[in-house]
Every structure is written in C-alpha cells, then in structure tokens.
Amino acid sequence: MSSFLKNHPFGVEAFFESSLVATFATPKEKVEHLIPECMQLDTFHDKWAFIAVAMVQTKDLGPKGFPRVLGNNFFLVGYRVFVRFTDSSGRSLRGLYILRSQTNKYRMELLGNIFTHYKYTTIDIDLQKQDGSVTISSHQAGFSISFLEPDEEQVALPTDSPFRDWKEARKFAGPLPFTFTYDDRDRSVLIVEGVRQNWKPVPVKVTDYRFPFLDELGTDFVLANTFLLRNVPYYWKKGRVEKWQSE
C-alpha cells in the first residue's frame, strides 16, 4: 500500500506564482553515475550534461479537481538531471530525473513523501527583493542565488555557457514534460507527465550564486542559463509505472 501511494496515485495541480530555473552544465562523463542504467543523459553536442535547480513559489497546490481553498502554498526547490527514457511503446521521453527535493513547510515534506518518491526535506527559504534585484536563499541548505528582474534590455548568456544563443539555451530549460524516479528494488520507473499553460520563460541575468549540493557531486559546473516564469497554471498527471528489463 505504501509503495502504491508513493507512485503519484492522483493528479496534482498548482499555480506557479514564480518559477526560477538555473541550469548548470558539466562534461557528461562526470554525472553519468547519478542516473540509473535504464536512462540516458540528455546531452548537448554529445559533450555537455545538465542539472537544473528549480525554485518555485506554488499557490493552491493540491489534488486536481479539489476546491482551491483546500490547496496549500509552498516554496519548492528541486535538483534534477536532464535525461531521456525509452518507454515500453518505444517513445523516447525527455524529462528530469530527481536528485533532491526541498520545501519550506513540513506539511509539504510529510505529504510529498507519502505520495511521491521525491524525498522531500524541510529547510528555511528566504526571498528578498531590493532595487530590481531578487535573492532566494536558505541558511540551512547554504544556497543562495541573486538575479536581476527582467526588463526590456537583452540579457547576455552566462560567460561560460556552452550555448551560442538563447534559442539553444531554451531547449535545456526546466521543467520538462516528464519527471522520472527509479525504484531499484523492483527495477521500475515512475513517469509523471506535467501539463502547463502560459509557458513563456524569460531569460534573466544572475549576479551571484552558491549551491553546496552541486559542490558535493564532485565535479565543476558552469552556469548555462537561467529562466524565470510567472503566473503559470500547472498540473501533474497521475503517475504511471513501467518495469524495466535490461537487454
């Protein structure tokens, strides 16, 4: 019963008041060990692999179809690897593999760990705005990122980004259509599909960042791109499980 509940047994909807996603690049061989063998890294020029750090302010998050008054407001932080998975029908699904999930409220940790495999932990999350700059930080987790509010001026790509322009960079901006987790006990993959509206990511300029979790992975990352979305209706479909067998 516990395993069934964790497999995202019903649809969930939320309103994204804001979603900031910073994508970091590293040579693919440095992070191949982070994903299960049933998946492949989603790479750029067969050289670069990517990890996204998503920071999302959600409103009215709850089971799809329930009255919004029963929803909850949370701040969510997720660390995800860009991957591909070929399902039983032969489709190559592009999505994100879960590495770590954090939230600012214990209620979300509790419910999230009952109904998903995302392994939520509760941390403090602080958001500060001053003179056109926004900083999201956590004392407990040790991370911080500061960026400028978007305006009419064109934003340059980060100095060391592997992308030539924002059109290329946009292809590696989360969230992606699918999210994956893997259960090595029964060699099964949980696939959760997201459905989004009003999806208009805007490039932003990051002025400073620090993510200790990335340092723990034992490789050097470069900031590849950062996109901001606001006021996005979003929902996740009921999860589906596929058994995986190696050839």
pLDDT by 10s per residue, the chain, length 247:
456 677 888 888 888 999 999 999 999 999 999 999 999 999 999 999 999 999 999 998 887 776 665 568 999 999 999 999 999 889 999 999 999 999 999 998 998 888 888 889 999 999 999 999 999 999 999 999 999 998 877 899 999 999 999 999 999 987 788 999 998 888 899 999 998 877 889 999 999 999 999 999 988 999 999 999 999 998 889 999 998 876 5
* Site of tokens 């592997």: 162
Q: Contact at 8 Å (CB) between 158 and 204?
A: no
pTM of the predicted structure, to 2 decimals? 0.93
What is the DSSP code string of 156-219?
PPPTT-S-SSHHHHHTT-S--SEEEEEETTTTEEEEEEEEESS---EE--EEEEE-HHHHHTTS
CB 39 within 8 A of CB 182: yes
Residue type, 168: E
Give me the CATH number covering residue 22.
2.40.400.10
pLDDT at residue 3, rounded to an integer? 66
Is residue 134 within 8 Å of 100, Cβ to Cβ? no
> Looking at residue 1, what is its pLDDT?
44
The pLDDT of residue 246: 64
Domain that holds residue 66: 2-243
Domain count, the chain: 1
